Amino acid sequence: MSAVSRQQEKVLQNQADAAPPRESSPTLLDEIMQHVLADSKCDSESYLRETDVPHGGE
Amino acid sequence: MRQRVVPARNRCSPRWRVTGASRVRLLNRLCGLETEYAMRFRPNEASIHKPSKFHLYRCLVGMLRQRVLTVPAKHFKEGIFIANGGAVWFEAERPASGAGLVEGSTPECRSPHDLLVYQRAQDRMLAESASAGTVNGQLSLIKNDRDSQGNVYGAQENYEATIATGWQLWIWRTGLVAIIPILLFAWLGLLVMIACTLTYLAVVAMLYLPLRIFRLWQPPVAIFLFGKDLATGQETGNPTPAWMEPIVIWFTRLVTAPLAGALLLLVRLSGFRQIQRQLLPFLVSRSLIAGSGMVDTYGNFHLADKAPAINCVVGLGGFVADRPIFNVGHFFKTLCGEACFSIREYFDLFHQRQRLQLGLGDSNMSEVSEYLRVGTTMLVLDAIEAGQLPSVPRIRRPIRALHNICADPSLQHEIPVSSAEKIQALELQRFYFTACQRFVDRQIDVPEEANQILAIWKEALDGLQELQESDGKSLQLLGKLDWVTKKHLLDSALSDTPWPALKKIDIRYHELSSEGYFEMLKATDCVTTLVDAKEIDRAMRVPPAGTPATTRGHYIREFSQEAARFVVNWKSVIFDQGEGTKRVRLSNYGKPSVHQPAQSFPDWQEQKE
């Protein structure tokens, strides 16, 4: 088996190993969601100013 | 039940023109990603002077140099090349204003999986260097495409592709010869502008020296005249003062406008015409699987961050505020700049295989979205170039269709196509998926990765179908597609959440730090990953095999700590040996798995200049 094939097999195995979404750790996901919602309201305007990119890019 | 204008079977069934098995090398073209990262700086103390973005970039690069081998880039903008063959640049439209971005370019890769790995390695290197910066505050990078003011930047994709065949290739090459007088006019104008700028700087410098000796000089005057305070060395990355910047920009546009017009006409007649026609409906609907999601100024959700800013199908990318799907600005830059110094750069444009640059595409946080963005595009390009893609629906008003698709997260919007039919974006994606699946099935030697891409693509389309039928309630694609994940976070916010908080969710989702929302979600099981940490570790140091980056990376590893004058660009490695300059061209990079380039490829062109 070629190195590429082994690599692809590993990737597919990683995917297969991935736990079913959501149900496995609802508490952690809920905690993060709560944190995100709380953090988003904190200093949001200054955060937006800090991340502004005048004139944009290419 | 929703009324359909045309039966789905009629709209989505590809009509095949070819029969029998064929042998096409799939997923075997050079490809690369360019990503612009916004810099967020928060000083440790409010009293600290806010440094320019160029200064922050310099700090970040300083930290990066401590982690990986680098060499200076020989280019028109400030940058470095890394041992893995990739590069980091300071990108600024108006550097004198103190603004700017960090731009990362992956090394040239050969497969979507490699490209994903190198993109993730680049993200990690830059994020770690930013967080370890020595500035008096916290620096972090945002891998997104639009700030809260609506300024657009972000991602670009590059694929090696056939620019034309037959009589169209003949037109392309004849046109390149025919534009020589216009090219010479542009060069003359640019030389006049450079001469005027240098004369100005020389005169002002002569005035500066005596006044500086007698201490009659004030920093604000120096900044006005030079664009920087020569005493403190606070730089903006711009060689001219701020007031001169718009003059230089507009004069450059004026003298190069005839060339820009001629090039656009030439591309319209012969450049990537077949690819543009057959790839366009795919790209217009690709936001469904690869969009990052965005909250606009009215609080409405869009599937993609950059797509709503796209305003033309083909363009030069910023010449006159154009934001194209197909960007031919690299041809323009080659003609205006690089060809002026090396005639070989001009003749390289006559090759049939050229760089196809896509300006439509988001910077992704999800590996699945990023992989689908590149992998599906490469499969469609393979089918187009093999002549095995069935007749595609022709979209009327593609830019309007793109905007309307992105503005409808319910996925119900129908766009008009040829013959007065209407079609949904999801059906367009199904059309291309089916076409690619049949194309792959017909091939004799199929790489496993092609089937892997098809499997993930199908899973995504099935998930989107479920999302559509459940009125957006399905969570099957949470943690897989960026826009679905971001929308879930935004939908969790209360209805009275103010716009700045929603926009903060939108932007902080893309922050490459432990405080970034997507980075936090990685701790849960819902985020699907396709590459592992070991692959990323290796990709930070070792270039991909079988590409120009292989050779470039070899030279960087071998000579970055030895040669006093050693610079690199995308096409060559240049040594200054005192007696003269030795240039090693990277165009003959040869076969995969090059470890001893000089022995494997004795026919490399080494030129004494």
Residue A5 has pLDDT above 60, yes or no: no
Q: Check: CB of residue B449 under 8 Å from CB of residue B112.
A: yes
Q: Is the dihedral of CA B199, B203, B209, B211 positive or negative?
A: negative
Q: What is the mean pLDDT of residues B396-407?
A: 97
Residue B20 has pLDDT above 70, yes or no: no
- CA-to-CA dists, residue B262 to B256, B327, B352, B412, angstroms: 10, 15, 19, 40
* A22 in contact with B, Cβ within 8 Å: yes
DSSP class of residue B336 equals: I
Interface residue of B474, B524, B535 to substitute, partner A, most A CBs within 10 Å: B524
* A2 in contact with B, Cβ within 8 Å: no
Q: Check: CB of residue B389 under 8 Å from CB of residue B379.
A: no
Cα separation, B238 vs B226, in Å, equals 9
* B495 in contact with A, Cβ within 8 Å: no
- pLDDT tens for B518-548 read 999 998 889 999 999 999 999 999 999 999 9
> Cβ contact (<8 Å) for A40 and B497?
yes
- pLDDT interval class at B364 (50, 70, 90): very high
* A16 in contact with B, Cβ within 8 Å: no
Q: Tell me the residues of chain B between 302 and 321 that have a Cβ less than 8 Å away from chain A.
A: 317-318
Model pLDDT, residue B363: 97
Q: Tell me the residues of chain B between 81 and 120 that have a Cβ less than 8 Å away from chain A.
A: 91-94, 97, 99, 101, 103, 111, 113
For B583, the token pair is 């240039």
Name the closest residue on chain A to residue B39, using Cα atoms: A51
- CA-to-CA dists, residue B80 to B69, B224, B250, B507, angstroms: 10, 29, 28, 27
- pLDDT tens for B377-388 read 999 999 999 999
Model pLDDT, residue B304: 98
- pLDDT interval class at A22 (50, 70, 90): very low
Q: What is the mean pLDDT of residues B493-500?
A: 90
For B153, the token pair is 């930047």
Name the closest residue on chain A to residue B490, using Cα atoms: A37
> Cβ contact (<8 Å) for B448 and A25?
no
Min Cα–Cα distance to chain A from B559, Å? 29
- B420 vs B493: which has the higher pLDDT: B493
Model pLDDT, residue A55: 78
Q: What is the mean pLDDT of residues B313-330?
A: 94
What count of CB pairs under 8 Å joins A to B?
148
Contacts of B462 (CB under 8 A, 6+ apart): none
Model pLDDT, residue B609: 34
- CA-to-CA dists, residue B342 to B84, B369, B576, B578, angstroms: 26, 39, 17, 21
- pLDDT tens for B110-134 read 999 999 999 999 999 999 999 987 6
Q: What is the mean pLDDT of residues B194-214?
A: 85
Cα separation, B476 vs B464, in Å, equals 9
How crowded is residue A24: how many other Cβ atoms within 10 Å of its Cβ? Answer: 13
Helical spans, DSSP H, in B299-342: 329-333, 339-341
SS3 content of chain A, % helix, strand, coil (to 5): 65, 0, 35
- pLDDT interval class at B237 (50, 70, 90): low
Cα separation, B455 vs B463, in Å, equals 12
B34 contacts in chain A (CB < 8 Å): 58
Share of chain B above pLDDT 90, in %: 71
Contacts of B538 (CB under 8 A, 6+ apart): none
> Cβ contact (<8 Å) for A52 and B149?
yes
Residue B255 has pLDDT above 90, yes or no: yes
Average pLDDT, chain B: 89
Q: What is the mean pLDDT of residues B201-224?
A: 78
For residue B153, give the nearest of A24, A50, A53 by CB distance: A53
Interface residue of A1, A7, A22, A40 to substitute, partner B, most B CBs within 10 Å: A40
* A1 in contact with B, Cβ within 8 Å: no
Cα separation, B239 vs A58, in Å, equals 19
Model pLDDT, residue B324: 97
φ and ψ of B155, to 5 deg: -105, 150
Beta strands in B296-412 (DSSP E): 301-302, 312-315, 324-327, 353-358
> Cβ contact (<8 Å) for B525 and A20?
yes
Name the closest residue on chain B to residue A26, using Cα atoms: B524
- pLDDT interval class at B598 (50, 70, 90): very low
What is the pTM assigned to this prediction? 0.89
Interface residue of B328, B504, B515, B521 to substitute, partner A, most A CBs within 10 Å: B504
Min Cα–Cα distance to chain A from B156, Å? 9
> Cβ contact (<8 Å) for B502 and A8?
no
The secondary structure element, H or E, covering residue B445 is none
Buried b (16+ CB within 10 A) or exposed e, B284-315: bbbbbbbbbbbbeeeeebbbbbbbbbbebbbb
Cα separation, A13 vs B379, in Å, equals 23
Residue B575 has pLDDT above 70, yes or no: yes
A36 contacts in chain B (CB < 8 Å): 489, 492, 505, 517, 520
Q: Give the residues across from B45 on adjacent strands.
A: none
Model pLDDT, residue B235: 59
> Cβ contact (<8 Å) for B532 and A20?
no
- pLDDT interval class at B306 (50, 70, 90): very high
* A55 in contact with B, Cβ within 8 Å: yes
Min Cα–Cα distance to chain A from B302, Å? 19
Contacts of A36 (CB under 8 A, 6+ apart): B489, B492, B505, B517, B520
- pLDDT tens for B81-117 read 999 999 999 998 777 777 899 999 999 999 999 999 9
SS3 at position B568: strand
* A28 in contact with B, Cβ within 8 Å: yes
How crowded is residue B277: how many other Cβ atoms within 10 Å of its Cβ? Answer: 12
Average pLDDT, chain A: 73
Measured at the CA of B360, the angle between CA B357 and CA B362, to 5 degrees, comes to 115
B152 contacts in chain A (CB < 8 Å): 56-57
Q: Give the residues across from B301 on adjacent strands.
A: B295
Share of chain B above pLDDT 70, in %: 89
φ and ψ of B422, to 5 deg: -130, 150
For B287, the token pair is 């936001």
* B504 in contact with A, Cβ within 8 Å: yes
Q: What is the crossing angle of helices B244-270 and B180-213, to 10°? A: 160
- CA-to-CA dists, residue B410 to A42, B287, B399, angstroms: 30, 13, 19
